[in-house]
A and B are shown apart, each in its own frame.
Chain A
């Protein structure tokens, strides 16, 4: 499998990354190199081996249902670009 420039543009759009025409070509080549490595991995015979969802074969640790966090809004909003009435402000989103 290899990606063309159109695929790269689409992925860039989904990822909200702006790429120049030159960057699109470099990105395509780099992504295709990565896909090449994956193809090598996929050549390994994995018949009968159960897929893992994580590289480490351990299970999720769980947390008791207890409220441990306190209000740190002032700290967080001190480093936010724009806030008002306790809200984070962002460029207008219209459906």
Chain B
């Protein structure tokens, strides 16, 4: 009998503000411990939080980008728990009325054209906690409160995902989106984008099983590994007759296992209540309209445009909008190569260019080959100046910084295709004379011999002859 996997994700995206959500401390990463922790952040008595406008703008941008409802009035609440890196004894968060509710994201698993819509439950503003350092401080724990009060948007999905691959696809799509709209730098190593996965299993059609929450997944690879391990563990437990108990678990990348951290306190233990230090947050329709007017074209809209205006497939359109930088590169190349070349430009970016970037660990913004340079290659293939094979050599040369553009490289290396019919004809004659054996074989009905002759001719021109022209001429000469 089959098991169905049910996954919901909670993501903490650190918002790209200069100052903290409730104080004027800097949010810059990597400072000396506690030098960016003000009286508000360390919760000295008598201090009051004042909300950062930019953090709210980030939340509005996100709400608009996922087609969610933005609450005209939302409320900040205290989430009470004791931990040394939370100096107030509560985290300021949102509970009953979050700033963003509903909406969702299209995700794609694998190379297919079909997208799946993952529904979002909500997204709310909250403050981050500090950091506990458990290294050796004579058996004591060190506390750094620089991160305390950093603005976060916690983005919560419905339990819509059915596999670790879908969970990763969602996380990647969300990761790309928050960077696209410029609200989060997406740096997972620095903890700017952290995911918790709620995982349960059930028999198809049955009510949801008991979930366990995997905390702090800070890479997509770990997310996949952790969920796969957790799913197998839960299935084994149930099949061996043990019930799953709700728990918070941690993933250990060294062993590839998840293990329970503490039994989950039920939500009431947090004793949420509206924070009397903060008034309701009002977001007017005018403010939303203003934020909307400043948003870039969203990946979804751009994908549709690429499909309808350029005739690209849904898969190509999704790949080209994987990041704003990628989309900008494509559009710049397209501008220079012309719309008729949309498909070859797309292919070169998704193929040769992406492979090379990957291999050298570069981001597309740092590609040594500019978009107009790539477009130059595509143009010269389109007008038959070079073959696809030579184009790859031109690509290599431009990548290595040799030559200003494709034309310069082609001219310097003498790589123009030989299109002069007379020259090719002479060459074909030579090839036929030198390869009598293949000619006889072909005449005797061996089709493969023809390909050998084309190969010989191409070799004789070092790949510079137009393959179609060579083929046509050979056929003519052999009387086919």
* Known A-B contacts A65-B54, A84-B137; A60 and B280 likewise in contact (beta carbons under 8 Å): yes
Chain B residues positioned under 8 Å from A63 (CB to CB): 24, 50-53
Is B145's beta carbon under 8 Å from chain A? yes
The answer to whether B24 and A86 have CB atoms under 8 Å apart is no
Chain B residues positioned under 8 Å from A86 (CB to CB): 32-35, 144
User: Helix, strand, loop or mixed for chain A's interface?
Assistant: loop
The answer to whether B279 and A88 have CB atoms under 8 Å apart is no
Is B19's beta carbon under 8 Å from chain A? yes
How far apart sit A84 and B34, CA to CA, in the bound complex (Å)? 11
The answer to whether B142 and A85 have CB atoms under 8 Å apart is yes
Chain A residues positioned under 8 Å from B279 (CB to CB): 53-54, 56, 58-61
- Would you give the shortest CB distance from B153 to chain A, in whole angstroms? 15
The answer to whether A54 and B274 have CB atoms under 8 Å apart is yes
* Known A-B contacts A65-B53, A89-B143; A76 and B276 likewise in contact (beta carbons under 8 Å): no
The answer to whether B24 and A59 have CB atoms under 8 Å apart is no
- Inter-chain CB contacts under 8 Å: number: 127
Is B133's beta carbon under 8 Å from chain A? yes
Residue of A nearest to B281 (CB): A60
- Complex interface bits, B261-283 against A, C-beta within 8 A gives 1, otherwise 0: 11000000101001010111110
CB neighbors of B among A69-95 (8 A): 69, 71-73, 76-77, 82, 84-95
**Residue in B26, B44, B52, B276 whose CB lies within 8 Å of A69:** B26
The answer to whether B52 and A85 have CB atoms under 8 Å apart is no
* Known A-B contacts A16-B82, A62-B51; A87 and B134 likewise in contact (beta carbons under 8 Å): no
Chain A residues positioned under 8 Å from B32 (CB to CB): 73, 86
The answer to whether A53 and B52 have CB atoms under 8 Å apart is no
The answer to whether A72 and B51 have CB atoms under 8 Å apart is no
Is B219's beta carbon under 8 Å from chain A? no
* Known A-B contacts A14-B80, A86-B32; A69 and B23 likewise in contact (beta carbons under 8 Å): yes
Chain B residues positioned under 8 Å from A91 (CB to CB): 140-141
The answer to whether B132 and A73 have CB atoms under 8 Å apart is no
Tally of contact residues, B, Cβ under 8 A? 54
The answer to whether B143 and A71 have CB atoms under 8 Å apart is no
Is A67's beta carbon under 8 Å from chain B? yes
Is A20's beta carbon under 8 Å from chain B? no
- Would you give the shortest CB distance from B43 to chain A, in whole angstroms? 11
The answer to whether B37 and A73 have CB atoms under 8 Å apart is yes
Is A68's beta carbon under 8 Å from chain B? yes
The answer to whether B143 and A94 have CB atoms under 8 Å apart is no
Is A64's beta carbon under 8 Å from chain B? yes
**Residue in A14, A61, A68, A76 whose CB lies within 8 Å of B37:** A76
Residue of A nearest to B74 (CB): A53
The answer to whether A62 and B56 have CB atoms under 8 Å apart is yes
**Residue in A62, A66, A89, A90 whose CB lies within 8 Å of B19:** A66
The answer to whether B24 and A69 have CB atoms under 8 Å apart is yes
How far apart sit A63 and B40, CA to CA, in the bound complex (Å)? 14
**Residue in A55, A87, A94 whose CB lies within 8 Å of B137:** A87
**Residue in A14, A16, A64, A92 whose CB lies within 8 Å of B140:** A92
The answer to whether A60 and B52 have CB atoms under 8 Å apart is no
Is B452's beta carbon under 8 Å from chain A? no
Is B42's beta carbon under 8 Å from chain A? yes
**Residue in A54, A64, A69, A77 whose CB lies within 8 Å of B280:** A54
- Would you give the shortest CB distance from B90 to chain A, in whole angstroms? 11
- Would you give the shortest CB distance from A54 to chain B, in whole angstroms? 5
Chain A residues positioned under 8 Å from B53 (CB to CB): 62-65
The answer to whether A65 and B19 have CB atoms under 8 Å apart is yes
How far apart sit A58 and B281, CA to CA, in the bound complex (Å)? 10
Chain A residues positioned under 8 Å from B280 (CB to CB): 53-54, 59-60
Chain B residues positioned under 8 Å from A88 (CB to CB): 34, 84, 142-143, 145
The answer to whether A72 and B38 have CB atoms under 8 Å apart is yes
Chain A residues positioned under 8 Å from B80 (CB to CB): 14
- Complex interface bits, A1-41 against B, C-beta within 8 A gives 1, otherwise 0: 00000000000001010000000000000000000000000
CB neighbors of A among B419-449 (8 A): none
- Would you give the shortest CB distance from B116 to chain A, in whole angstroms? 35
The answer to whether B25 and A67 have CB atoms under 8 Å apart is yes
- Would you give the shortest CB distance from A43 to chain B, in whole angstroms? 21
- Would you give the shortest CB distance from A89 to chain B, in whole angstroms? 4
- Would you give the shortest CB distance from B171 to chain A, in whole angstroms? 24
How far apart sit A32 and B430, CA to CA, in the bound complex (Å)? 108
> Can you show 9 pairs from A to B with CB atoms below 8 A apart?
A53-B279, A54-B280, A60-B280, A64-B54, A65-B17, A65-B53, A66-B24, A69-B38, A71-B35
Interface residues of B (CB under 8 A from A): 17-19, 23-26, 32-39, 42, 44, 50-56, 73, 75, 80, 82-84, 97, 132-134, 137, 139-145, 250, 261-262, 269, 271, 274, 276, 278-282
Interface residues of A (CB under 8 A from B): 14, 16, 53-56, 58-69, 71-73, 76-77, 82, 84-95
